[in-house]
Amino acid sequence: MTIHFRNETFRNDFTYANSPGNIPRFPFPFPEDVYMYSTNVEPHHATRAGSPFEHAFDVDEHYVSEMKDRALVLADDPGRCQALPHMETAAWDFVELVMVSKARDYPDLFELTIDGDRWHWINKTLQIDDTFVFGDSSTLPCHPMEYIGRQVQGDHAILDQRDGNLWMDAGIITAQADWSLDFDIGMNFFEWHAPVPLAHELGVFQRALKFLLSLPQGQPSRRLNWTLTVNPRLDTSPENYPKWGPDKLTVNPGNIGEKVHLRVELQTFWRLPRSNAILFPIRTYLMAMNEVVTQPKWGRRLHRVMRDLRPELVEYKGLSRYHPMLVDWLAQFDDGAPTSPGIFPD
Amino acid sequence: MSASDHLIPVVVSRVVEVNSIIKRFEFKHIHGNELPAFSGGAHIVVEMLDGPIKRKNAYSLMSSPFDRDQYAISVRRDDNGRGGSKFMHEKVEPGMRMNISAPVNLFALDLRARKHLMIAGGIGITPFIAQMTQASSLGVPFELHYAARSASQAAYMDSLQDRFGDHVRCYCDDAGGGPDLAALLSDQPLGTHVYVCGPKGMIEAVVQTATDLGWPAAHIHFEHFLSPPVGKAFSVHLAKAGIDITVGPEQSLLEAIEASGTPVKCLCRGGACGQCETKVVTCDGDIAHNDHWLDDDQRASKQFIMPCVSRFSGKRLELDL
């Protein structure tokens, strides 16, 4: 399998796009025609060749450009990458998990040679060839979490487990949907989820925490989350709101298909062995409305989901400004025909 | 889903008689593969096929967390127990194949600690052996206070003193008794975390003394090594599955549910972690709770049960499973 890595931007001229072959593998987040919170967690098993669920850490055509965008964000704001001092063991667990998984799943792109504590890592795509001592951070050019975080798509939070709770004690977060690591660092599970409406009352977080605290080694889980973003911008952080907030005002019926993007997070959960922490990768996939509706099932369903979305969620997800316009625009792709179950296109 | 759903096939590589009541068992992967890395304080669940009975007991890993070639556990023989430790002592020999779960840690070191103060009683020493190896490699100060009934029953006392020198203080009941907890806990640097694993009385004494001295609750860690008690056989109706099951005298309710093929979550199998908490639909009789999880109100309500350690006597028990 050869991946042609696109050269594209997630800011300024926004040249990001999905090639036609990449569209059907998008992790469309709606298995039914209505959306409400659910603890939609399933085992992160290898599923469906070619899909983003085939491998532990999906690599796609946007890999190189996403890593360039991450480098730009970190250069501008080093606070996007923070690890409290007790999280170094967990950072090495993260290094191991990514390197072992990628070398196994993409042998053409990544190579890992382990000789006791001496590790040799080759990332052909990013032209990295390093030898280091596993567990000795002085043998890497930067903190182990930053080192591997610059080589894997998606944001990564590392949650310490203690006192019957999870604590946001480390992360490399440059492509977030309007939350801030700098604000959340050191918070526990309920604190960082405090702004989410409805879910607390439904007991969603109590159940989710109980599930995560008992997450076994070697049995990762996954779920999909979603929002909408105007322009294919990865860095929609609160810190940069002045840069992307006004984009919402640029949407009109003539450009809505290219401007508004369905933003899907493939969230996975991994118990880390040496630290007993949990790695929480949040992998973002972006797709313009024009690209989504090339799949008739998705066009129909997205219209129904958006039309019937609870007002609290419209507000929380920041869609109020253009939500009615979007529902009107999507209506042209909904002929009322039934949709098949599941998220994959017909 | 629980850790023991995905078992690792191992071969018993060594059995060592540590003293008259304790044996150490070492396991390697049957294909010589690396075993999962783990953190100090983790346990594995060992599956024992004893004739028609499938037992699953949890034991702390005592081997080095950095050694992925083999795991080691120590088992104290309990002739009045359900038979798991007896099985390990009498039936398990080198070369035997067994299944174990991946490691699960419900007694992890708090990695923020400036110092780890460990207090062990008897066989409660095992998780600390792995934790000391971890703390020592992280370069964080630690201190073990290890109490046993007598020198002859104090497993690994000599070897731990050889390995960790002044970090280890030993106490024997027949030679002066255990540590002076009040003195010990009132003279620790800021940022110390205390960990205790041992008999119930010791855990209670450490928690109470530390609390009285003003230690924050988040700095006090303990692990009960409770095993499911034996008792009379009883019947249970599983409402969702629509079946009746019988729990044998030396079987736990959890094991009986598992044997029926009904899924139930669990981790510690010792009444501490809360994962197997199950709703009671009908209870005409008495539940012997035996757990460390439910609070007094929940117990009195008879609406919750912990299948890993609880038993029942009476006319009818119906569970929401």
The pLDDT of residue A210 is above 90: no
* Residue A279 in this model has a pLDDT that exceeds 90: yes
Asked casually if ipTM beats, i.e. exceeds, 0.95, the reply is no
Which whole-number Å values give the CA distances from B60 to A30, B8, B107, in the listed order?
Answer: 43, 16, 10
Contact state of B39 with A217 under an 8 Å Cβ cutoff: no
CA atoms of A326 and A322, how far apart (whole Å): 6
pLDDT band at A128 (very low <50, low <70, confident <90, very high): very high
Chain A nearest-CA residue for B216: A163
Cα(B97)–Cα(A48) distance, integer angstroms: 35
Tell me the average pLDDT across B239-258.
93
Fold of B234-319: Ubiquitin-like (UB roll) (3.10.20)
pLDDT at B229 over 80: yes
Query: Does an H or E element contain B254, and which?
Result: helix B253-259
Cα separation, B127 vs A118, whole angstroms: 28
What integer pLDDT is reported at residue B186 of this predicted model?
Answer: 97
Residue A130 half-sphere exposure toward CB, CA atoms < 13 A: 17
Residue A112 within any structural domain of the chain:
no
Q: Chain A closest CA to B152's CA: distance in Å?
A: 34
3-state class of B71 per DSSP?
A: strand
What per-residue confidence (pLDDT) applies to B291?
A: 87
- CB pair distance less than 8 Å for A217 and B2: no
User: A10 burial class (0-12, 13-18, 19+ CB within 10 angstroms)?
Assistant: buried
User: Does the structure show a pLDDT above 70 at A315?
Assistant: yes
Whether residue A131 lies inside any domain: the answer is: no
> Looking at the predicted structure, is the pLDDT value of residue B3 above 60?
no
Residue B286: pLDDT band (50, 70, 90) is very high
Q: For the packed helices B126-138 and B157-164, what is the interaxial angle rounded to 10 degrees?
A: 0
Q: What is the pLDDT averaged over residues A3-28?
A: 97
Measured between beta carbons, the chain B residues lying within 8 angstroms of A84 are 112
Structure tokens at B115: 């110092």
Least confident window among A329-333, B219-223, B295-299: B295-299
DSSP SS3 for A240: helix
User: What's the rounded Cα separation, in Å, for the pair B80 and B83?
Assistant: 8
The architecture in CATH of the region B115-223 reads 3-Layer(aba) Sandwich (3.40)
Structure tokens at B160: 């731990």
Quick check: A86 and B112 CB within 8 A?
A: yes
Q: Is residue A111 part of a domain?
A: no
Given A6, A11, A150, A223, the catalytic residue: A223
Residue A223 is among the residues annotated as catalytic for this protein: yes
Pairing of strands A110-115, A118-123: antiparallel
- Name, in order, each residue with C-beta under 8 angstroms of B263's C-beta and a sequence gap of 6 or more: none
In sequence order, which residues have a C-beta less than 8 Å from that of residue B297 and are 6 or more positions away? none
Q: Is A204 buried (19+), middle (13-18) or exposed (0-12) by CB count in 10 A?
A: middle
Q: A275 — contact with chain B (CB < 8 Å)?
A: yes
Q: What is the mean pLDDT of chain A?
A: 95
**Whether the Cβ atoms of residue B293 and residue B306 lie closer than 8 Å to each other:** yes
Q: Give me the pLDDT at residue B2, please.
A: 52
Residue-wise pLDDT tens digits, A261-273: 999 999 999 999 9
Mean pLDDT of B107-134: 97
Chain B residues close to A216, C-beta within 8 Å: 1-3, 6, 101-102, 104
Tokens of A274: 């040496």
Residue B101 confidence class, pLDDT cut points 50, 70, 90 = very high
Superfamily of domain B3-105 in CATH is Translation factors (2.40.30.10)
Dihedral in degrees, nearest 10, Cα atoms A209, A213, A219, A220: 50
Give the residue on B whose Cα is nearest the Cα of A43. Answer: B1
Contact B275 A218 (CB under 8 A): no
Contacts of B181 (CB under 8 A, 6+ apart): B119, B205, B206, B209
Please tell me the predicted confidence (pLDDT) of residue B10: 98
**What number is the average pLDDT over the span A22-29?**
96
Cα(B100)–Cα(B63) distance, rounded to whole angstroms? 15
pLDDT attached to residue A40: 78
Q: Mean per-residue pLDDT for A98-107?
A: 98
Give domain limits for chain B: 3-105, 115-223, 234-319
Q: How confident is the model at residue B225 (pLDDT cuts 50, 70, 90)?
A: low
Which residue reads 């999880």 in tokens? B293
Closest by CA to B284, choosing from B311, B236, B316, is B316
Name chain B contacts of A276, Cβ cutoff 8 Å. Answer: 39, 42, 105, 108
Domain that holds residue A163: 20-48+61-67+80-88+153-331
Distance of alpha carbon A298 from alpha carbon A340, whole angstroms = 10
pLDDT in tens, A175-187: 999 999 999 999 9
What pLDDT score does A39 carry?
Answer: 63
Least confident of B1-10, B95-104, B182-191, B269-278: B1-10
Taking CA–CA distances from B102, the nearest residue in chain A reads A217
Q: How many domains does chain A have?
A: 1
Q: Is residue A311 part of a domain?
A: yes
Q: Decide which of B224 and B68 is more confident.
A: B68
Distance of CA A311 to the CA centre of its chain: 25
User: Is A300 a residue whose pLDDT tops 50?
Assistant: yes
Closest Cβ opposite residue A219 in set B6, B38, B265? B6
Q: Are A6 and A65 in contact (CB under 8 A)?
A: yes
Dihedral angle, C-alpha B263, B264, B266, B272, nearest 10 °: -170
- Residues across chain A: 346
pLDDT beyond 50 at B1:
no
Ramachandran angles phi, psi of B238, nearest 5°: -95, 110
pLDDT tens, position by position, B121-156: 999 999 999 999 999 999 999 999 999 999 888 999
Structure confidence by residue, pLDDT tens digits, B165-213 = 999 999 998 888 889 999 999 999 999 999 999 999 999 999 999 999 9
What pLDDT was estimated at residue A1? Answer: 61
Instruction: Provide residues of B within 8 Å CB-CB of chain A.
Output: 1-3, 5-6, 36-39, 42, 65, 101-105, 108, 110-112, 138, 218, 265, 267, 273-275
Out of A87, A93, A216, name the one closest to residue B2 (CB).
Answer: A216
Give me A167's structure tokens. Answer: 């604590």
> In the prediction, which pLDDT does B45 show?
94
How far is the C-alpha of B217 from the C-alpha of A162, rounded, in Å? 12
Rg (CA), chain B: 20
Most B CBs within 10 Å: which of A276, A278, A279, as the mutation test of the B interface? A276
